[in-house]
Amino acid sequence: MLTGLRPISRADIDAIVCLAEAVRLVDDPGDAVTREMVAAQFDIPGLDITEFAYVLPGTGGALVASVSAVPMPTAEDETVHISWTVHPDHRKEGMDEALLRFAEDCAVRARRLPHMPGRFQIGLRVHRPDRIELLERFGYAATRWFLEMERSLDGDLPELDGPAGYAVRPASEDDRDDVFAVLYESFRDHWHQANFTREQYEHFYAAMAHAPLATFIARDADGAAAGACIVRVSAERNAHRGTSEGEIAVLGVRRSSRKRGLGRSLLAHSLAWLAQQGQKIATIDVDADSQTGANRLYEDVGFVERRRSVIYMKPMP
C-alpha cells in the first residue's frame, strides 16, 4: 500500500502545496497552505526535515500522501510529532492505518534522547470521526484542547492606554533582538513547550514576513523589554475564506510584568492596527487551559470561540 514512499525533498514543494489544497477543499474551508510556508520547513535551523518526512508519489508528479515524525523534546520528555495527509481521491480502507504505523516506527527510530520518556503526539484541527476512531484504537488519548477565537473589529475597541510605568509602541528593526528574547522567554511557560532554540523561534516568525505584518513592543520605565506582539494579515487566508481577517500571531509578556494589564494593552494596539488595515475580524489561537490565563484575557476583550483542535498523545513503547 505504501510502495514508493520516499524521503521528502525540496523538489516536492509545489506538489505538497497541491496535496494540502486538495485536502483543505474537502475537509476544512480554513487556512490555505502557501508555497512560502512549505519552503520554510526546509530551512529550520538545526532540523533537517528530509530526515523525518516522506511522500508517496502518484502519477504525473502528484502526491498520494505525505507523512512525518518530527522529534521535539520538552523539559519532561522526548515528544515526536506525527502527522499524515492522504489525497481525497486516494483514501481507501487501511491507508490511514498504514501511514500511522509507518510514522510510529519512524518516531521510535528518530529518537535522540532514549534516557527520557518518549511520547507520540498528533494534532487534529478538524473533526474527523474516522481518524479519532483510529487514534483511540491505537491507544491515543485526547490530552489538550486549543481554541481558535475571533472578535469583530466593528464598533468599540479596547482602550490603548496601558499600565503605569510601561509604554507600548510599534517595534523597529533595532528592537528585533528584544522582541524575540521576550517571546522566547514567555513561551517557555506554555504547556508541553518544545525546547526550540532562539534561532528556531526567529525562523518561525520570519516565515510570516511575506504577509503584511506589524510588531509591537512594550518597555518598562527603565527601557527593558517586557512584552511583545506580532500581528499579520494573510491575503491567502482571506482569499480562501472570503473574509477580511487579521491574525494575532503571537503575544507574550515576561513573568515579571504579568498581571498588570500589559497583555491587554498589546492586544489593544494590535486590534487597532488590524482595523486600520481594513480588516473586519481578528483571530487568535490559545491553549484552552492556558497557564498564564491568556484565554480569559481574550474573552474579556470580546473574543469568542470559533473552533477547537485537540492534541492526542500516547507513551512510546
pLDDT band at 73 (very low <50, low <70, confident <90, very high): confident
CB proximity list for 166: less than 8 A, separation 6 or greater: 218, 219, 220, 221, 226, 257, 260, 262, 265
Pick the closest to residue 245 from 222, 269, 277 (CA basis).
277
Q: How far is CA 261 from the centre of its chain?
A: 25
pLDDT at 126 over 80: no
Q: Which has more pLDDT, 210 or 44?
A: 44
Q: Which DSSP string do the residues of 128-151 spell out, in sequence order?
A: -HHHHHHHHHTT-EEEEEEEEEEE
Domain ranges, ordered by start, for the chain? 6-139, 150-305
CATH 3.40.50.800 fits 6-139, yes or no: no
Confidence of residue 208 (pLDDT cuts 50, 70, 90): low
Q: Give me the mean pLDDT over the 290-309 stretch.
A: 88
Instruction: Give pLDDT, residue 30.
Output: 62
SS3 readout for 76-97: CCEEEEEEEEECHHHCCCCHHH
pLDDT band at 29 (very low <50, low <70, confident <90, very high): low
Residues 187-212 have a mean pLDDT of 75
**Percent of all residues in the chain with a pLDDT value above 70, rounded to a whole number:** 97
Q: Which of 67-76, 198-207, 238-247 has the highest mean pLDDT?
A: 67-76
Specify the range with the lowest mean pLDDT, choosing from 30-34, 57-61, 182-186: 30-34
Torsion sign (Cα): 130, 237, 41, 215: negative
Q: Is the pLDDT of residue 243 over 90?
A: no
Tens digit of each residue's pLDDT (9 = 90 or more) over 53-70: 999 999 888 999 999 999
Asked if the domains 6-139 and 150-305 are classified in one and the same CATH topology, the answer is yes
pTM of the complete model: 0.87
The pLDDT, as a whole number, for residue 26 is 86
Residue 209 is predicted with a pLDDT of: 61
CATH H-level, domain 150-305: superfamily: Gcn5-related N-acetyltransferase (GNAT) (3.40.630.30)
